[in-house]
Structure 1
Amino acid sequence: MKTYIKVVFFLIILVPSLGFGQAIKNGKLYLNEDGSHYVKLTLNTQIWMRAGEYNPGSTIFGSPKKGGVDIGIRRYRVQFMSQITDRVFVYSQFGENNFNNIADRKQGFFVHDAMADYAVIPKKLSLGGGLSAWSGLARFASPSVGTIMGIDAPLFQQSTNDVTDQFLRKLSVFAKGKLGKLDYRVAMAQPMAIQKSAGYNAAITTNSSFSGLPPKMQWNSYLQYQFKEQESNQTPYMTGTYLGTKKVFNVGAGIVYQAKAMNHIGDNLKDTVQTNMLQIAADVFYDAPLKEDGSAISIYANASHFDFGKNYFRNQSVMNPANGTGSGSSLNGSGFGYPAIGTGNVYYTQVGYKTKNNLIGKTSLMPYVSLQVSDLQKLQKPMTFYSAGVNWLLAGHTSKFTVAFENRPIFNNDATQMSRKTNLVLQYQVYLN
């Protein structure tokens, strides 16, 4: 069925424009006899249903709401890529994120990626540019969303997501390649205007915020040494788990730096102080089969240091089911939000175990746990976010159910922790790759 859908899609969309006679194989429309030049399309849909307790003071269009059930489309993506010549590769992606019942209608479909690169020295050095996710910091700053092990990626690694970039993608020029077992990416990005971000506030306070002045260039890099099998770096997106089909052991480190990106009012309460933005991280990734029966393990750990200036913090609230706060609100904001990113240190780990193949009929399971600890300057104590769940792999990542239990702390407006809240997430994914 999977192959049939791809064939029909290519026949309807691509073949009329490219001419007849090309072969379709391995999900690609071959442009030459050996398949080294090709065109490929992928599709990904992630549907969520959640139930849980909302943050104190949450409102939906002014109506107080303590909790509830919501349904939404977490992601819908279409990818187009083509190896046009031996040296020219082009990639684009478009789709929608976080569409729920309170989202704007008919406005969310947008371009995620539009980039091209040229292999100056094949495999060793490619140069490119455009709107892309060739970014720095850590492995899952650019996650392959169709292969995520848990309910979602560690989104704190996309620390400027939709603030000075477009859902993590940046207007940039980049270099990438492999030198032996060292995989590298380096990019110079032009930050997008903070004035165009959602909820922009021009006020400058004693707490740090992004400067409204024309931004300086941002520098990004991520290096990883791949001890075992080598991973593809054709696109910037890093695989979440290979489900036992590959043995990977990587150690990586990254950086994001932008001069005078932030500002705040100085101690004299008069002068505006500009400060640099610096992010550094190190991580390790191990993903490998355990036995010939298909069982596998996946382990990831990360330590990140963020310097956004004095007391900067940002709440994370994916596909927020509430859109306002009223009396009795907290530092967390509305809905399922919690302070995940800010000046300080963030630690993250996730561990998953894939059972043997054909555990339940022709399907298998992959339970996992993850923990994020955000030790932020703004907070009186570290923020700890827990998630535990299980994937029901109906056909690998192509068709899977994921159910996850999440637990988050609630902070008073004075940044002291007051309680914890929970929610349950059910996802169904279809990934045509």
Structure 2
Amino acid sequence: MTYRFLICLIVFGTFSFTFSQGSPDYEGGLNIAFDENGKKYLRIISWAQVQAIHNDQVPDEQEQTNFNLARARILMFSQINEKFLILTHFGLNNLNSNSMSPTGLSDASELFFHGVWAQYNLGKRHSVGAGLHYFNGISRLNNQSTLNIMTLDNNRQSWSTVGLSDQFGRHLGIYAKGSLGKLQYRVALNDAITNGLDDRDPQNGGSAVYAGKRLLGSAESGKVFSGYFEYSLFDMESDVLPYKVGTYLGGKRIFNVGAGFFAHPSGSVRADVDGILEPEDVRIFAVDAFYDAPWGNDGSAITAYATYQYNDYGEDYFFLAYGTGNMAYGHLGYLLPGSVLKTRFQPYASYAVNTYDAFENNRTIFGIGANTYFSGHNSKLTLEYRHESFGDDKLGTLTLQAMIYL
């Protein structure tokens, strides 16, 4: 059993001026307006997540409780008129006593860009942009924000390209986004990363490795394509920023159905029995549905999400959390009756099953937990038990998380 105690101190601004985050105290975050109508502005978003992690499954000579700076970020976006916008997002992740260096020059100690993009607005409903961006395809969860998520964290396998074709969930390229009536879309053409996490070389007659650009060259394996399309049956969601809200706590009435894809021609490589490299396309498709709405007139609300995803990373591919096969995931939460001005409680449960062509066993992940909202997502506690099973490997994790963002 592993116990994690996570304290997140977050200062966060958002584009919305409603109670979509569930807090009556939140009024637009940190915003500097340069005119009276708000068309010229600078928004600054800053957050830090600090963890104290206790693990009793370590050797006797190792300390069981350690600290970790999981995220330290600054995000800024600005416009001087409604025609264009620029966004810059930088920070670091997972700084701990093992990754720190005496002079702060190690890879883990250094800041890097999580996002830098310039956007041109083609009227009020359509935009195009370029840079290191987070307008991803596949599913809602591959575009998930971690600051207003309902469960403790995102379903890991739904961030389906992290480190394989991108830099920490962000690709470098061009995108287009917008809405056609009730249909919202985001599509992108990007460069694939050359040196991804999968640094293996193919074994003769073995399974595929995700290293097409590194082994075959950029002419054959340099570009990736992605898109996500969702239809809103009820309220429309903001798409100013790419980050999808996990739960509105009854602040909106949302019912969206979506579908998305990711394609990387010759993204993976196999070696035949003679050692000759053969390219294989990476193809991922998903359909999903998201429901979040008040339930009655007593302040209660329901949040539900379900997705099915087909993953093809190449023949018998398996690496870390990723593998060729199928994935189904869902979660359900119920916000108990109460006033937005008082402490709220939200029990929830989640379940995921992954099948892999390379294994007979499935990976299953079950989570059950509850959120305590002191001021919506701006101040909350989350307690979650998570059980993961994959063949003979089983792992139970109990996590307590405290989060504040302003």
TM-score bin, normalised by smaller chain = 0.7 to 0.9
* Aligned residue number for residue 424 of structure 1: 398
The 1:96/1:382 distance shift into structure 2, 3 A limit, reads same
* Aligned residue number for residue 39 of structure 1: 42
The 1:405/1:53 distance shift into structure 2, 3 A limit, reads farther
* Aligned residue number for residue 245 of structure 1: 251
* Aligned residue number for residue 342 of structure 1: 323
Question: Quick one: percent identity of the two aligned structures?
Answer: 30
For residue 290 of structure 2, what is the amino acid of its counterpart?
F
| CA–CA distance in structure 1, aligned partners of residues 274 and 363 of structure 2 | 29
Matched, 1:228 2:208: no
Q: Give the CA deviation at 1:49.
A: 3.7
The 1:234/1:6 distance shift into structure 2, 3 A limit, reads closer
Of 394-403 and 288-297, more deviation after overlay is shown by 288-297
Q: Normalized against structure 1, the TM-score is what? A: 0.79
381, 384, 392: which one aligns with 1:404: 384
Tell me, what secondary structure is at the counterpart of 1:156?
helix
Would you say the 8 A contact 2:202–2:208 is kept in 1? no
Matched, 1:306 2:302: no
- Residues 17-52 of structure 1, C-alpha deviations (whole Å, 9 max, x = no match): xxxxxxx97642112111122111122333334445
| CA–CA distance in structure 2, aligned partners of residues 253 and 6 of structure 1 | 29
Of 347-356 and 39-48, more deviation after overlay is shown by 39-48
Tell me, what secondary structure is at the counterpart of 2:116?
strand
The 1:308/1:199 distance shift into structure 2, 3 A limit, reads closer
Matched, 1:30 2:33: yes
For residue 282 of structure 1, what is the amino acid of its counterpart?
V
Q: Counterparts in 2 of 1:61-210, with a 5 A limit?
A: 68-105=64-101, 106=104, 107-123=109-125, 125-194=126-195, 197-198=196-197, 200-205=199-204, 206-210=206-210
Q: Normalized against structure 2, the TM-score is what? A: 0.84
| CA–CA distance in structure 2, aligned partners of residues 341 and 352 of structure 1 | 27
Q: Give the CA deviation at 1:250.
A: 0.3
For residue 209 of structure 2, what is the amino acid of its counterpart?
S
* Aligned residue number for residue 334 of structure 1: none
* Aligned residue number for residue 10 of structure 1: none
351, 372, 383: which one aligns with 2:332: 351
Would you say the 8 A contact 2:203–2:275 is kept in 1? no
- Residues 267-309 of structure 1, C-alpha deviations (whole Å, 9 max, x = no match): x343221100000000000011113432211101010001111
Would you say the 8 A contact 2:121–2:127 is kept in 1? yes
Q: Counterparts in 2 of 1:269-288, with a 5 A limit?
A: 269-288=274-293
Would you say the 8 A contact 1:53–1:421 is kept in 2? no
Consecutive unaligned residues in structure 1, runs of 5 or more: 8-23, 316-339, 411-416
Would you say the 8 A contact 2:371–2:380 is kept in 1? yes
| CA–CA distance in structure 1, aligned partners of residues 81 and 249 of structure 2 | 32
The 1:95/1:121 distance shift into structure 2, 3 A limit, reads same
Give the paired residue count: 370
* Aligned residue number for residue 389 of structure 1: 369
Would you say the 8 A contact 2:200–2:209 is kept in 1? no
- Residues 305-350 of structure 1, C-alpha deviations (whole Å, 9 max, x = no match): 01111221222xxxxxxxxxxxxxxxxxxxxxxxx32100011001
Tell me, what secondary structure is at the counterpart of 2:147?
helix
The 1:398/1:152 distance shift into structure 2, 3 A limit, reads same
* Aligned residue number for residue 18 of structure 1: none
Q: Give the CA deviation at 1:203.
A: 4.9
Q: Give the CA deviation at 1:199.
A: 6.7
For residue 356 of structure 2, what is the amino acid of its counterpart?
L
- Residues 150-187 of structure 1, C-alpha deviations (whole Å, 9 max, x = no match): 11112212222123211100001011000000000010
| CA–CA distance in structure 1, aligned partners of residues 365 and 30 of structure 2 | 38
| CA–CA distance in structure 1, aligned partners of residues 95 and 399 of structure 2 | 15
- Residues 222-277 of structure 1, C-alpha deviations (whole Å, 9 max, x = no match): 000011111011111111111111111000000000111101122x3432211000
For residue 333 of structure 2, what is the amino acid of its counterpart?
G
The 1:289/1:229 distance shift into structure 2, 3 A limit, reads same
For residue 398 of structure 1, what is the amino acid of its counterpart?
N
Tell me, what secondary structure is at the counterpart of 1:373?
strand
For residue 79 of structure 2, what is the amino acid of its counterpart?
Q
Would you say the 8 A contact 2:308–2:328 is kept in 1? yes
Would you say the 8 A contact 2:225–2:264 is kept in 1? yes
Would you say the 8 A contact 2:73–2:90 is kept in 1? yes
| CA–CA distance in structure 2, aligned partners of residues 234 and 422 of structure 1 | 38
| CA–CA distance in structure 2, aligned partners of residues 420 and 155 of structure 1 | 17
Would you say the 8 A contact 1:141–1:155 is kept in 2? no
Consecutive unaligned residues in structure 2, runs of 5 or more: 1-10, 14-26
Matched, 1:218 2:224: yes
